Structure 1
Amino acid sequence: MRVFVLFMCAWACQGREFVDKMDRYLIACHTTDFTCFKRQYTALRDNVLLGNVKLAIDNFEPFSVQYGSDCVRIEGWTESELIGIGMDGSSKQLTLALELPVYMKQVKNLTNCAKPELATISVTFPFTLLKKKGDIYLVLDQEEVDALVDIPVYRPWSLTCSSLDAEAAELNQASDWAYDIVQHVEAARDFAVPFTGRLRTAFQRIPLKRLMLLYPEEDYSDLQFAFIDPIVLLSK
């Protein structure tokens, strides 16, 4: 399963007190250090985006959708990883790409109804720079989200007694079940935005210098950089 999305974040904590409490979780990265940005995202994911009692951030609740008589929960953000990041100072756009497994579960009996498939989420949002009390903040506008979910199609199977055919039948049924569900879900709006909205809020509450370090020749107003995980490119 592949999901392509554009994204960013939302919760309640105010001003400098919020930033001071977050200090222990922040990782600042130079614009040439992609490995650092990957660690930065993981730290934010685990300590902020998914919830934190110490920061008064509610736990992130997976998206649930009514499907027939069942309530189906769609999960996977807890295992999301940053696989790409870019910033274009001229067009004022920040782009992130995430990779995560997508799980679909029936909530009623807590049965795993489909094995997780890999999802790739590409996130782009326009931004403005705001100077406040000597610090520069990255203010992200409302994200545009575009999602494509591809459900895998398994090989044809015949009604025989072999274990391989039985397994193929089960996989096809899971594929059909998952395909029917995603027809009822606006993946961009329902699955992605509740999570990415938290990221948008985090960025605009944290001074940019605590997330992104400049070299002497750089300026936040005209930064130009982009990275993508080479392993992802090779796997395509």
Structure 2
Amino acid sequence: MKKIILLAALALGSFVNAQQITVNTPGGGSLEEGEVYTTSSVALPNLNADNKLRFNITNNTEEDIYVKVKVTSIDGNEEGGSVQLCYWVCFYDIAVGTVVPDFTAGTEIAPGATTTSSEDHFISFYTGNGNDDVTYGLAFIKTDVNGTELETLLNFTYKYQPTAAVKDLAGLKNMGLSISNTVVKNALNIDATVNADAQIYDMNGRVVFTGKVVNGTNALNLSGLSTGVYTARFKTADNKTAEIKLVKN
């Protein structure tokens, strides 16, 4: 019983911490505790790069808070180059333990206020070995006025997931998947000669649909998705992976 109570208390504590701030992303989205932001792009930094995760922070509390961004893990890019971590100041090389900004108190956010910079972001354009994922663990942390870390407010993961060179309809067909419509109203229609897992990602890298493709005729029901651009990623039983862009009307 004590163990159950302790676990419940820890879970409640994580929920409360996450509610102190909202990390806003473009298009009206937000990052959630433990979220994995996934991209298959390693485009160089520019305003509209697909792999550029921009954010603003809203203070949901009734007191001033000081916030920094901390690197908690790196896997696949141990040298920490070919990235940008910008939160009031920009770092172009990072390591586990890197904290931004590096001035003492961090960024002060008034009650109910939202940071206004359009250039706070994280982006990686490091390609890795071309096969394995490159991941970065990041956390928004709360500090006191002297810069001493008090608690973690929200954790998330930024993942670069390389895909095979097969990214178009012809390539998918070579894998055994024939897609008849990339503009979708209700269903994505697939004729398959193999079994595969299907995942649909929104432009923030969130998985919004997971399904199975089986040998034969398939109609993946995407009627519940909002209008927009999505990435469909398929993985066959022999670990061949491919993706295409979809438009949901």
TM-score w.r.t. length of structure 2: 0.25
Q: Which structure has greater helix proportion?
A: 1
Q: Which has the higher strand share?
A: 2
TM-score, with structure 1 as normaliser? 0.25
